[in-house]
Structures are given as structure tokens and as C-alpha cells.
Amino acid sequence: MSISVRILIVLAGLTLVLTAPPLASAAPGSDDKPNIVLILMDNFGYGEVGVYGGGELRGAPTPNIDSLATDGFQLTNYNVEAECTPSRAALMTGRYGIRTRQRPDGPPRGVWYGITRWEVTMAEMLTDAGYTTGIFGKWHLGDTEGRFPTDQGFDEWIGIPRSSDRAFWPDSNSFTPGSHPDAVFTHVMSSKRGETPSELDVYDRAKRTTMDREITDNALDFIRRKAEGDQPFFAFLPYTQTHEPVDPHPDYYGKTGNGSFADVLAQTDDYVGEILSTLDELDLKENTIVIFTSDNGREGVPRSFGFTGPWRSGMFSPYEGSLRVPFLIRWPGKIPAGQVSNDVVHQVDLFPTLASIVGEELPDDRVYDGADQTGFLTGRTDESARESVVIYIGNELFGVKWRNWKLLLKEIDEDSYAIREMAYPSVYNLIVDPKEEVPELNYLNDTWVDFPLYQVLEDHEASIAADPGAPDP
């Protein structure tokens, strides 16, 4: 090869290097480390959105949320814990709530809030995998030093630390300021990793109407900022709706003509649509996992008018209307589109599944209740990686589900929430009796099911004895 030809080759190579776009400008996310957008509704019933039998039936079509089913995987037997805090603890840690934040020997109110700082959260796991993380919305897993989301793996947070029922307080004519150190107004808060959160606006009824709009705007800002970098991102949007009070944004009040709940449903679908459109606009759709789900079923109070579809009851109960919620997941090219399954999946599965996807090993110093569902969701296997879940309300073990069967050892009064031990356990076939109206009891043709049901309970109790969880450091 002549010297002149060599010079031309070198110059051509230099031209390619100089004209190529910088790596940092490439869209974040990849096949092995996709971006993750997790949308979590609050007290949102199984039957609210169109693909679960709601939508237009509920007074507001939900085309944007429904598109996640068309383009992704819809689960019809996705299970959660029966109340907000243990559900969010389970989601964030891959461990049943009983391990993460409840102590049987604690005071009655003290066992209901937060997770121990020893727990590894989903945000901490994803940080270790190289992700930048943001949470926009309701945390509900701690509101003291060391327990805020930016203390537990998130890079930034704007939202509320506790529940929306506190939005009633500032507008109550019976509220007595200073009556107790903990009886104070909730504020919208903001913080960055390592900072002490600052209090912004009081979370009152007026603020409640705009909260989910602000959550959406802050999440969109986060996604746009992170789209300019080269790190994959995790955007967690725990919305505040449809927890009481169900107050729509002023722009949506009266929009459907079908009442406030339908207005909020329309509002939520539009906000989800904005998230999806932004991912399209930024060319992030193909390398972003989008998940839409809820922490538990509809509100326990009848006035919420939430809808659980074919299932009985709502939150704070051991029945399916409390435990089954929507779950839609989209990952184009990796999760086959248009799939529907009634296989058993539990919210604790999301932690090990995402860890598997991003290549992170789980800590080996604790028991994980979750199962890796990567193969099932991506179509490499035909069945869920689990067949059963255990059922808790607070610290009380109520029973177990195995396949389409359910065993309840205790029952709960749906008006008073009083817990009663059953004289004889109830067994339900959820295919035959989805409303859980007629327990099988001791029907002779079905007594065989006692063996797998009680085996699940025995294995779980042994696991809890081996790893009851760790206290705060």
C-alpha cells in the first residue's frame, strides 16, 4: 500500500470520528439496562380501566392506559398487599410487608408506618446498576430523618410523605393546632439525595386537586433532563388518586359529566398519555419499560365509588377486590404485545425481575419473597414463576392463594373491620366463585386442595421464623 493511500485512509477515519455524534447525546437505556417508568395508582380498583372492564363503563374511556395492554402484557391475577404502606414496602423491597416494617410486639399505631433503613429498596438496587432515580408523588414509607425517599436510593423527590386523607385536615373546622406533636398538616416536600427535605405548600383540598398534575409535570421534566444524558433512568410516579378525597383538577372538574370519579379517571388517562407521548417524542419508547399498576384495591369506604370488577370487597380485606389490581407492562421488542395471562404474580416479584433484567445480584443476607418473572413476561416460558401468595392484613396472617384456590383462616367484618377467627377455614374456588360467596368448606371432592394450600402456609411460616426482618440500625 502506498504512503498516499495510507494517508487518505487515516484522514477518512479522522473525519468519521470528528463527525460522529458524542456518546453522551445518545438516548439513555439499552437492551440490558432499559429505562423504567413505574406508575403506581393509590387505592385504584381492578375494574377501573377499559381493558379490565371499566373505562367507558366507569364514565371515562381510558385509551392511553389501555394501549399498554395492546402493546404489552396484561396480568389478570396480579396480587398486592391489602393496605398502602405494606404494599409499597413489598413493591420497593421484594419482601412481604411483615418482614420489612411491621413488628408484632410494637405498639398498635407504631407498626403501621415505614420500612426499616436496613432494607434495600428498588431505587438503591437500580442505583447500584448505574441508574439515575427520581420519585414524584406519594412515598408513604417514612417521614423522618433517614427514612425519606432520598435517604433510600432516590436522587430526587417532589411529593407527599404520607397519605391523602390528611388533605382533609386544613379544611376541617374541628382541627385543633398543637393538640399533638404528630397532628400537623402534611406538606408537599422536595429534596435531593443527601439533603434534608424542604416543605413547600400545605397539602390541603385545593392542593390535592393539582397534586397529580404536578407529579406528572415533574416526572416529565425528569425524563426530558435524563434523556440528554447517557445513564438509564428510573422514574417512579406514585400518583395520589384515587385515594380519598377524589378531587379532580380544576381543568377536569365536570369534564365527563359523570361525576368526580370519572373526571379523575379521564385526568389520569390523559396524564399517562403525556408520559407515553413524551417517551415517543424523545425516541425512548423502544428502550423503556413502562408499568401501570396500583398499591391495592379500591377504597374501603363506600363513598369512594371505586370498582373492583368481578371481585369482592376493597382494601383492608382478604378478598380479591383488595388483593387483585391492574398490572400492565410494555417493553417493545422484548415483551410480546397483546399478551394476557391469569397466572399468579405478586408485587414482590417486580424487584427480583428488574434486578435480573439490569444484571444486579440480590443481597444474600435476607430472604426474598419475590420470584424472577423475566422469562414469563418476555415469553421465554409459558407460566409464571410462582403458584401461590400469602395474605396479610397488618400483622395478621389471613390465609393463602394457590393457583385458583384460596384458603382463609380468618374473616373480617367489611363494615367494622373486626377480625374473627374462623371456626373452620373457608376454601374458595376463584374460578367457580369469584365473589367468594360460597366457601367449599369440607366438600368431599375438593378436600385434596388442603395439602398444597397448607404446605404453602407451612413453608412461609418457616421462612418468617428464619428471617423475621431486621430493626433499624
User: Which CATH number do you get for residue 162?
Assistant: 3.40.720.10
Domain boundaries, position 306: 27-386
Same-domain status, 397 and 324: no
Average pLDDT, integer, range 403-425: 88
What's the pLDDT at 442? Answer: 55
Same-domain status, 286 and 336: yes
Q: In what order do the strands lie in the sheet with 419-429?
A: 388-393, 396-402, 405-412, 419-429
Residue where a domain terminates, one of 332, 359, 386: 386
Average pLDDT, integer, range 110-114: 56
Reduced to 3 states, what is the DSSP secondary structure of residue 219?
Answer: helix
What are phi and psi for residue 346, nearest 5 degrees?
-125, 155
Is the omega angle on the peptide bond into residue 245 within 30 degrees of 0, that is, cis? yes
Q: Looking at 84, 249, 346, 460, which residue is catalytic?
A: 84
Same-domain status, 50 and 124: yes
Same-domain status, 287 and 343: yes
Does the residue 229 lie in any domain?
yes
| 84: annotated active-site residue | yes
Other beta carbons less than 10 A from residue 316's beta carbon: 19
Residue 54: CB partners within 8 Å, gap ≥ 6? 45, 47, 48, 62, 265, 307, 309
Residue 17 in this model has a pLDDT that exceeds 50: no
Average pLDDT, the chain: 90
In contact, 43 and 85? CB cutoff 8 Å: no
Q: Tell me the C-alpha distance between 254 and 248, whole Å.
A: 9
pLDDT, one tens digit per residue, over 350-387 is 999 999 999 999 999 999 999 999 999 999 999 999 99
What's the pLDDT at 181? Answer: 87
Query: Per-residue DSSP letters for 421-472?
Result: EEEEEEEEETTT-TT--S--TT-GGGGGGHHHHHHHHHHHHHHHHH------
Q: Looking at 140, 243, 249, 346, which residue is catalytic?
A: 140
Does the residue 7 lie in any domain?
no
- Provide the number of structural domains found in the chain: 2
Does the residue 13 lie in any domain?
no
Beta bridge partners of 136: 158
| 180: annotated active-site residue | no
24 vs 351, which has greater pLDDT? 351
User: Which CATH number do you get for residue 408?
Assistant: 3.30.1120.10
Beta bridge partners of 427: 407
Quick one: DSSP state of residue 51? Answer: G
% of residues, the chain, pLDDT over 90: 75
Residue where a domain terminates, one of 353, 386, 419: 386
Position 439 confidence tier, pLDDT thresholds 50, 70, 90? confident
pTM above 0.85, yes or no: yes
Pairing of strands 132-138, 339-341: unpaired
Average pLDDT, integer, range 179-198: 92
Does the residue 378 lie in any domain?
yes
419 vs 235, which has greater pLDDT? 235
Residue 110 in this model has a pLDDT that exceeds 60: no
Alpha helices in 228-332 (DSSP H): 260-281, 320-323
Same-domain status, 452 and 327: no
Same-domain status, 154 and 231: yes
Cell numbers for 215, please give them: 407529579
Same-domain status, 369 and 402: no
What's the pLDDT at 154? Answer: 98
Position 29 confidence tier, pLDDT thresholds 50, 70, 90? confident
Average pLDDT, integer, range 338-359: 98
Same-domain status, 297 and 378: yes
Does the residue 433 lie in any domain?
yes
Average pLDDT, integer, range 312-332: 96
pLDDT, one tens digit per residue, over 117-147 is 889 999 999 999 999 999 999 999 988 888 9
Does the residue 10 lie in any domain?
no
Residue 305 in this model has a pLDDT that exceeds 60: yes
Average pLDDT, integer, range 198-205: 95
Does the residue 377 lie in any domain?
yes
Reduced to 3 states, what is the DSSP secondary structure of residue 155?
Answer: coil
Measured between its terminal Cα atoms, the distance across the chain in Å is: 69
Nearest to 225 by CA among 272, 161, 289, 155: 155
What's the pLDDT at 272? Answer: 98
Position 106 confidence tier, pLDDT thresholds 50, 70, 90? very low
Average pLDDT, integer, range 66-76: 98
Residue where a domain terminates, one of 386, 409, 431: 386
Cell numbers for 2, please give them: 502506498
Same-domain status, 303 and 409: no
Same-domain status, 256 and 325: yes
Same-domain status, 397 and 369: no
54 vs 23, which has greater pLDDT? 54
Pairing of strands 233-238, 132-138: parallel
Does the residue 291 lie in any domain?
yes
Q: Which residues of 340-356 are buried (b: 16+ CB within 10 A; e: fewer)?
A: ebebbbbbbbbbbbbbe
In contact, 123 and 152? CB cutoff 8 Å: yes
Same-domain status, 370 and 422: no
Q: Which of the residue ranges 52-66, 85-99, 170-184 would you say has the lowest mean pLDDT?
A: 170-184
